[in-house]
A and B are shown apart, each in its own frame.
Chain A
Amino acid sequence: GENVEQHPSTLSVQEGDSAVIKCTYSDSASNYFPWYKQELGKGPQLIIDIRSNVGEKKDQRIAVTLNKTAKHFSLHITETQPEDSAVYFCAASTRGGGADGLTFGKGTHLIIQP
């Protein structure tokens, strides 16, 4: 089955700097890649997603890039703010939005230093 590796496990950046989180996947048939943000005591919140027919997608300070050949995708957050502090998860699916279930990475704890 699909395996998703996520790095780093912890990332500390200064407020205003950029943060990059990287994920690799094993199944070349994967075609849907969402990113979720999880705050303490809450469920994961979708922040951005990308499908395999697109190489890059941007939404204000957040962007995701996808390299199908290398089987990796990355989350980029610019101008980080204290409210960006949370655990971020990447995920992958071989059937659209997750019809076969989303396979998640182990998460990245993003810490924004004031």
Chain B
Amino acid sequence: DAGVTQSPTHLIKTRGQQVTLRCSPKSGHDTVSWYQQALGQGPQFIFQYYEEEERQRGNFPDRFSGHQFPNYSSELNVNALLLGDSALYLCASSFSEYGTQYFGPGTRLTVL
């Protein structure tokens, strides 16, 4: 049974660029949540997608946007990258909005 997968594993970008991160949920899951984890900190909630709609959003600017596809996979897009966007970006999937969340291995984004 495949767990949550994320791509790419690592990414290096420069300030002002745009980036797209991808997530495939665990088999049978229909909901995807995205989190940002700065070094030495706990994950912070960015937003959640269910039925191809953004259902909940944390305290992140509009530069962070996302999408969920009919096969439940999801993308996180970040525009106008800042140095402070350097972090581990985690995707978690669940069965429904209220289900237990299972995390992927993350994408390490470095902004230079």
A residues lining the B interface (CB < 8 Å): 1, 4, 6, 34, 36, 41-46, 49, 89, 91, 95-107
Could you say which of A43, A98, A101, A107 contacts B90, with CB atoms under 8 Å apart? A43
A-B interface contact total, Cβ < 8 Å = 74
Question: Would A97 and B98 count as touching, CB distance under 8 A?
Answer: yes
- Interface size for chain B: under 10, 10 to 19, 20 to 34, or 35 or more residues? 20 to 34
Question: Would A107 and B42 count as touching, CB distance under 8 A?
Answer: yes
* Closest Cβ–Cβ distance, residue A105 to chain B (whole Å): 6
By DSSP majority rule, is chain B's interface helix, strand, loop, or mixed? loop
Q: Identify the stretch in B14-22, B63-71, B76-84, B99-107 within 8 Å (CB) of chain A at 4 or more residues.
A: B99-107
Mark interface residues in B20-57 (1 if CB within 8 Å of A CB, else 0).
00000000000001010000111111011000000110
Please indicate the chain B residues that have their CB under 8 angstroms from the CB of A34 in the complex. Answer: 100-101
Question: Would B56 and A44 count as touching, CB distance under 8 A?
Answer: no
Please indicate the chain A residues that have their CB under 8 angstroms from the CB of B56 in the complex. Answer: 99-101
B58 interface contact, C-beta 8 A? yes
Please indicate the chain A residues that have their CB under 8 angstroms from the CB of B85 in the complex. Answer: none
Could you say which of A1, A44, A107 contacts B103, with CB atoms under 8 Å apart? A44
By DSSP majority rule, is chain A's interface helix, strand, loop, or mixed? loop
Please indicate the chain B residues that have their CB under 8 angstroms from the CB of A49 in the complex. Answer: 100
B94 interface contact, C-beta 8 A? yes
Question: Would B98 and A95 count as touching, CB distance under 8 A?
Answer: yes
Question: Would B98 and A104 count as touching, CB distance under 8 A?
Answer: no
Please indicate the chain A residues that have their CB under 8 angstroms from the CB of B58 in the complex. Answer: 101
* Closest Cβ–Cβ distance, residue B25 to chain A (whole Å): 13
Mark interface residues in B87-98 (1 if CB within 8 Å of A CB, else 0).
000101010111
Please indicate the chain A residues that have their CB under 8 angstroms from the CB of B92 in the complex. Answer: 98
Given contact pairs A36-B103, A98-B33, A107-B42, enumerate 5 new A-B contacts (beta carbons under 8 Å). Answer: A43-B105, A45-B103, A97-B100, A104-B42, A106-B42
